[in-house]
């Protein structure tokens, strides 16, 4: 009986001493600046009615969830934009990007290139925004557009995600036009 009572007392002491204080654990292990999720070699496809619209590749992605859900892409980013027939019509690449799922936007920075395969034209800039809601791309930074017809410079651009039509803000440069201009 003494052994049994001793065993019960020992068991109560052991169980009472094993307490995990969640607040103390959070203070030790929680860092508010660290990402909620880290992914290497990320590949995401956005589709509509079963057809791919946008495909995103990233070497390293860190997702932060707070007021807004944001994924920061580091070490390289490539975005493929698809036509209605499922063909890649343009590709956006950069070294850094931020995908804001809450707003439906992507900001890309550092060595940004947007390439249209049909027109063989390239847009180069340091920062570019893509709005998922209306599929528009814009930049307020200096841009360079290179094509087989010439090089155009500007301080900002608005274009569609296929980079087939664009409006260049404050343009300069030289380009060959397909048709003669008629002056009235």
Q: What is the pLDDT of residues 134-182, one digit of tens each?
A: 889 999 999 999 999 888 899 999 999 899 999 988 887 666 666 654 4
pLDDT in tens, 42-100: 898 888 887 888 899 999 999 998 889 999 998 899 999 999 888 999 999 999 999 99
Whole-number pLDDT of residue 183: 43
Q: Concatenate the DSSP letters of all residues of 20-33 into one string.
A: --HHHHHHHH--TT
Q: How confident is the model at residue 12 (pLDDT cuts 50, 70, 90)?
A: low
Residue 26 lies in a domain: no
Q: 7 lies in a domain?
A: no
* pLDDT > 50? residue 184: no
Q: Which two tokens stand for residue 73?
A: 């892409």
8 found inside a domain? no
pLDDT value of residue 181: 47
Q: Which domain holds residue 91?
A: 33-174
Residue 26 has pLDDT above 70, yes or no: no
In a domain, 6, yes or no: no
Greater confidence (50 vs 110) lies with 110
* CATH number reported for the structural domain that contains residue 44 in this entry: 2.60.450.10
Number of domains in the chain: 1
Whether 10 is in a domain gets the answer no
Q: Is residue 21 in some structural domain?
A: no
Quick one: average pLDDT of 119-147? 93
- 153: exposed, middle or buried (C-beta count within 10 Å: 0-12, 13-18, 19+)? middle
pLDDT at 49: 80
Total Cβ atoms within 10 A of residue 20: 6
State the pTM of this model.
Answer: 0.73
């Amino acid at each position: 009986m003494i052994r049994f009572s001793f065993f019960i007392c020992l068991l109560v002491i052991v169980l009472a001493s094993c307490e995990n204080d969640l607040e103390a654990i959070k203070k030790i292990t929680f860092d508010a600046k660290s990402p909620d999720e880290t992914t290497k070699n990320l590949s995401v496809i956005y589709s509509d009615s079963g057809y791919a619209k946008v495909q995103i590749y990233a070497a390293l992605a860190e997702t932060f969830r707070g007021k807004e859900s944001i994924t920061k892409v580091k070490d390289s980013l490539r975005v493929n934009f698809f036509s209605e027939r499922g063909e890649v019509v343009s590709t956006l690449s950069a070294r850094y990007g931020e995908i804001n799922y809450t707003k439906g936007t992507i900001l890309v920075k550092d060595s940004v290139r947007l390439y249209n395969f049909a027109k063989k034209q390239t847009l180069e800039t340091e920062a570019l925004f893509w709005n998922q809601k209306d599929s528009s791309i814009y930049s307020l930074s200096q841009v360079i557009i290179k094509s087989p017809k010439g090089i155009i410079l500007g301080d900002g651009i608005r274009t569609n995600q296929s980079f087939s039509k664009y409006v260049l803000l404050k343009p300069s440069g030289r380009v060959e036009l397909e048709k003669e201009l008629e002056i009235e």
